[in-house]
């Protein structure tokens, strides 16, 4: 009784007694790394974030790079749920407050494997600069690499599953090679 209420931004008082309006917190980027249970980077992992208890904000997602690093862009300050997954590994779900200066590591259950290979051209010469492509039912998207000067290529951070690899160099294309990592 006898008081009036107004809606609007909360007012803050400084030591001098002046009233200032609180500014809304700006969105921030959240960076982290996805790795296996041995600490090895997992490339091409999918990381998804959604706000806790705020239904009007969008889901944000990112892919990890070759070093397992990812950046979730423009997250509003507050509580978020993060989910990380990679083909052939367990899925991890955690809660995180944004912003948080502590490093963000997302360890997935399982041990990553590496597929190494050699690309040669007739008459059995190593082919530098050939493109290797790895696909499979467990991968969300194909992975690409380039051979070194010895014709060698490598795909790291692979989980369990079936894969197909193929190489191309100019107009030359290899037959697909199938393999299973168990």
What sign has the CA pseudo-torsion 32, 84, 81, 27? Answer: positive
54: Cα within 13 Å, side-chain hemisphere: 15
Rounded Cα gap, residues 48 and 72, in angstroms: 8
Beta strands in 19-98 (DSSP E): 19-21, 28-35, 46-51, 60-63, 69-75, 78-85, 92-98
74-128 tens-digit pLDDT: 999 999 999 999 988 989 999 999 999 899 999 999 999 999 999 998 888 999 9
**In degrees, to the nearest 5, what angle opens at C-alpha 96 toward C-alphas 95 and 97?**
135
Strand partners, 168: 131, 173
Rounded Cα gap, residues 41 and 67, in angstroms: 5
In this prediction, residue 146 has a pLDDT band, given cuts at 50, 70 and 90, of very high
pTM for this predicted structure: 0.74
Q: Is-contact 112 37, C-beta < 8 A?
A: no
DSSP secondary-structure letter at 141?
A: S
Query: Is omega for the bond preceding 99 within 30 degrees of 0, making it cis?
Result: yes
45-63 tens-digit pLDDT: 999 999 987 767 789 999 9
**Could you tell me what percent of the chain has a pLDDT over 70?**
86
């Amino acid at each position: 009784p006898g008081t009036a209420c107004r809606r609007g931004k909360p007012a803050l008082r400084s030591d001098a007694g002046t009233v200032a309006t609180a500014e809304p917190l700006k969105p921030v980027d959240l960076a982290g790394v996805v790795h296996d249970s041995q600490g090895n980077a997992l490339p091409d992992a999918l990381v998804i974030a959604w706000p806790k208890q705020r239904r009007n904000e969008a889901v944000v997602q990112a892919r990890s790079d070759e070093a397992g690093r990812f950046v979730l862009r423009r997250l509003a300050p507050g509580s978020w749920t993060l989910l990380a997954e990679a083909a052939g590994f367990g899925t991890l779900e955690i809660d995180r407050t944004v912003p948080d200066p502590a490093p963000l590591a997302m360890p997935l259950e399982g041990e990553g494997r590496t597929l190494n290979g050699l690309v040669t051209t007739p008459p059995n010469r190593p082919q530098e600069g050939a493109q290797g492509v790895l696909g499979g039912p467990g991968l969300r998207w194909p992975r690409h690499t380039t051979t070194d000067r010895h014709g060698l290529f490598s795909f790291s951070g692979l989980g369990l599953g079936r894969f197909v690899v193929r190489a191309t160099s100019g107009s030359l294309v290899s037959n697909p090679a199938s393999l299973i990592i168990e």
